Structure 1
Amino acid sequence: MKVNWLVAATLTIVASIGLPLVSSAQSPSYTIADYEQPNAPPAPEPEVGAGLQPLTRSADAPAHCAACEAPAEEEEATCDPWRLFCQKECGWNITGFVNAGWTGNSVSPASGYNGPVTFNDRNEGMLNQLYLIGEKTIDRETCCWNWGGRVDVLYGTDYIFTQSNGWELTPAGTAKWNSNPYYGLAIPQLYAEVGNENNSIKVGHFYTVLGYEVVPANGNFFYSHAYTMQYGEPFTHWGVLGSYKASDEISLNYGVVNGWDALTRVQDDPGFIAGFTWTGCEDVLAFNAIFGNEPTVTGPYTDRYTHSLVYTRNFSEDWQYIFQHDFGSQVAGDRAGAGSAQWYGINQYLFYTINDCWKAGFRGEWFRDNDGVRVTGLRPSVGQPLAGSGFAGNFFEITGGLNYAPTANLTVRGEIRYDWFDGVANNGNAALPFDDGTRSDQLLFSIDLIYLF
């Protein structure tokens, strides 16, 4: 079988643990699933996109931080969201949410596409995510090894961005069970997990640890996504992913996977993930990298290296700042297949909690597609003029928004986003990335809602 090396890697890692995989002596305390990437800095909110609760020190912050904090005030009572399915203290639980929205484009392109902007890539109403989760969490507060697992199912227009070769797609990357270019089904996570207070090991299909923004809508402040997330990083992996708590401040990530977004593909090669998360009193720093063979735009598989650095700073209970830097490079990855290709960028986020119902946010981004091999049109359908096109140059975007959450179940997100491009087209029919290849900039107005159930 093409991916026998994955099985071998899994058995090697588990065997090296040297401890019996037994159930915990006590039942784990269940918490609602955190939709952030594993071991990445916390998103602007714990669960819902609005981030209604005041910003505080991370729950994983080292114990010594308590000494440098003022005496804690009595914690305010919070309301848990209503759930369609009864939530148990241990065992498997089912949760979910629905996310839908509308985007308007100031230039109203005839095709209806908002250029390379995703996930709200069309200037119309979209049912982005009907998202279901089945999960048995592991107990990370016991020395005993215990097991769990998770499966995520996504239906909606966002399915196209989370597909894997050999799973939702064929090994060559063509459509398998989804024939509609607008609505379809994806299973972005399907894994078993074992762990204890210092370890977590996932085997199967899981989200990447690189980057800051995530696929599930309720893990993000904004409706639209940064170029770094969409074009600079993988979305998911198949393989083995581990996390080891080296100290109160430092956790280490390691993994062996079948590259970017693939169960099986034309050429299966192991990719290697390594990184760390450092947690301070008011700061979190995460660095993660992946290295392995990946396909180029000309076809051959060559060495690709990508890393992501994310720094989070909580200035107060109301103000939070995030800095992200991504870098990627691939041997013989340019459009001539002769020189290396590179992409890199910087994101900055600033969030302000106004009150229990309102939160404001700002995002500014510069993303450089140095050789025009990353940013393109992603939804293959009739009338998509950017599909297959490449743009060598600088992409900039500034986004401002408000989140409103009148209840624990409902969040409404509004945003205004301005994009512009400085560079040249180097492949395909589109000369410029916006307004069906005719403009170098555009202005978007968006509103969407997230309802937990």
Structure 2
Amino acid sequence: MKNIKVKTLGAVLAVLAIANSHANETAEEQGEGMLFRSLFGDTLERTYGITVSGLLDIGFSRNNRSTSDERDDGLSNLPITGLSDEGLELGSLHLFVDKPLKANAIPRVTPLPGPKPETADFGFTIEALYGRNAQFSRTYGWDMGWDMNEEDNAKAKRDRLSFMSVPNLAATAYLPYGPGFTIMAGVFGPIIGYEIPPNIRLAPNPFASRTYAFVSNLTTVSGVLVGTRIMDGPHGLLGIELGIAQGWSNMRDNNDDKALLGALRWRTPDMNTWIDYEFMVGNQENESTRDIQAPTSRLISADGQLRQQHSLNGWHRFSEHWLLGMELVYGHQDGDGKPTTVDIVTGPGFDGAHWWGANAVVTYQIRPDLSFSVRGEHFSDPDGFTLFPTTTARGDFNAITAGFRYDLNHNVSIRPELRYDWFDAIEHDRPFGNGRDRTQLTATVQALVYF
């Protein structure tokens, strides 16, 4: 496995060298798609509107709580996610293939201003992901069962194994009837919460490390999502989305119920302010011990146990330099308390869990290629439920993170950060330092390579 990692890193560095050489030759271009265009030309994009691009997410981190033996293994930064290994980590290597829709809304993202297109359009989105983070973006009934993804969690942690996932594989369509409708069907990230999984350039993810709220939100769904723009005027834009999914990170659900997901998305006419409310509600349990889909579902029960997740998040640009992002999350997992309703962590008689959190990030855009951000978060998980498997600690997590982003060129950005976490326990739990500590200081340097 170590030899494979060396070969992979060598291939990545070769890609980086090619991308940087072309960045110097055509500095006016963005890095996204540059490697594919240099190898195959731009006919695919010009003629068919299909874009092909890549992203390398790699970093180095250390914390003040782990031992040298723990650092040799993986996931020693947990419950902090994003870059969870100490030392050098290949977080993710992404391949994106997209044909965007000509529509009055971007599915899962935003309604758009302007006239409604009067012709139908069809597209697709594909994202393939290789690396350490792919372990957490796999889908049951899909890439979870691939041979390279079937290593047990203990071995994956000990040997720092990389995984392969395809978290987005969906067809899209725009139909010009009425106000115009967008449709997405397949496997896709539902975009619930302020942060989104890949660190694409336009993502509102200012740091390498993620919030606890991000961990509590969804990773993937398989199903259908329909959206439309219902307002476009002086009071802003309003879009609505509604869909049906096979549950949390699931194509082969192990109960007979579906889940409902949706969103309301409001934008000011100048697009300088937005507010999103997003949700997913549905029964989430393993119906029998013959098919336990953990860690996505901790419960075993013959009866439906309703789970819900809600996120209210927004963003505002105060000026050319100052930006603010905020998020509130709330979740609840029902439990009927019966002896036959079993939590695989705490045992029989599970009677429910809830969690909530708030976080905010302020960014000062010093110049187009340099910005500084500070984020604060409070996340309460009194039942130690929703952050599993990163932690089962019961109590309140708090964190403050500071760092900057510097774009070296059109292909490479670096994001150093310092993060301090502290935990208020209900009883005895100590989530940091492998169960020894309630505080942790983490330093991280991340490089994002767009090609």
TM-score by structure 2 length? 0.75
Cα–Cα, structure 1 residues 175 and 417, in superposed 2: closer, same or farther, change >3 Å? farther
Distance 1:370 1:436 in 2: 19
Q: Match for residue 118 of structure 2?
A: 143
Q: Match for residue 56 of structure 1?
A: none
2:366 corresponds to which of 344, 354, 365 = 354
Q: Match for residue 189 of structure 2?
A: 207
Q: Match for residue 364 of structure 1?
A: 376
Distance 1:177 1:297 in 2: 20
Q: Match for residue 138 of structure 2?
A: 163
Q: Which runs of 5+ in 1 are unaligned?
A: 1-76, 379-388
Q: Aligned runs of 1:368-407 on 2, under 5 Å?
A: 368-378=380-390, 390-407=392-409
Q: Match for residue 99 of structure 1?
A: 57
How far apart are 1:244 and its partner, in Å?
0.5
How far apart are 1:420 and its partner, in Å?
1.0
Amino acid at match of 2:441: L
Q: Match for residue 210 of structure 2?
A: 225
Q: Contact 2:194/2:326 (CA < 8 Å) preserved in 1? A: no
Q: Which has the higher contact order (CA 8 A, sep 6+)?
A: 1
Q: Contact 2:123/2:173 (CA < 8 Å) preserved in 1? A: yes
Secondary structure of 2:313 counterpart: strand
Distance 1:132 1:425 in 2: 44
Q: Match for residue 254 of structure 1?
A: 242
1:340 corresponds to which of 349, 352, 376 = 352
Distance 1:235 1:362 in 2: 25
Q: Determine which structure has the larger helix proportion and give its number.
A: 2
How far apart are 1:105 and its partner, in Å?
0.8
Distance 2:142 2:266 in 1: 34
Distance 1:307 1:376 in 2: 18
Q: Match for residue 20 of structure 1?
A: none
How far apart are 1:95 and its partner, in Å?
0.8
1:193 corresponds to which of 161, 172, 192 = 172
Q: Contact 1:168/1:175 (CA < 8 Å) preserved in 2? A: no
Q: Does the alignment pair 1:288 with 2:278?
A: yes
Deviations 1:121-163 (A, max 9, x none): 1211101111001111111162211101011100011101101
2:418 corresponds to which of 416, 419, 428 = 416
Q: Contact 1:100/1:450 (CA < 8 Å) preserved in 2? A: yes
Amino acid at match of 2:83: N
Q: Match for residue 36 of structure 2?
A: 85
Distance 2:349 2:166 in 1: 33
TM-score by structure 1 length? 0.75
Q: Does the alignment pair 1:317 with 2:305?
A: no
Secondary structure of 1:169 counterpart: helix
Deviations 1:163-190 (A, max 9, x none): 11111225xxx98734372201010000
Secondary structure of 1:116 counterpart: coil
Cα–Cα, structure 1 residues 311 and 93, in superposed 2: closer, same or farther, change >3 Å? closer
Identity of aligned residues (%): 26
Q: Contact 2:327/2:359 (CA < 8 Å) preserved in 1? A: yes
Q: Contact 1:347/1:365 (CA < 8 Å) preserved in 2? A: yes
Amino acid at match of 1:157: R
User: Aligned-pair RMSD on alpha carbons?
Assistant: 2.1
How far apart are 1:342 and its partner, in Å?
0.2
Q: Match for residue 177 of structure 1?
A: 149
Cα–Cα, structure 1 residues 267 and 310, in superposed 2: closer, same or farther, change >3 Å? same
Distance 1:200 1:137 in 2: 11
2:219 corresponds to which of 228, 235, 244 = 235
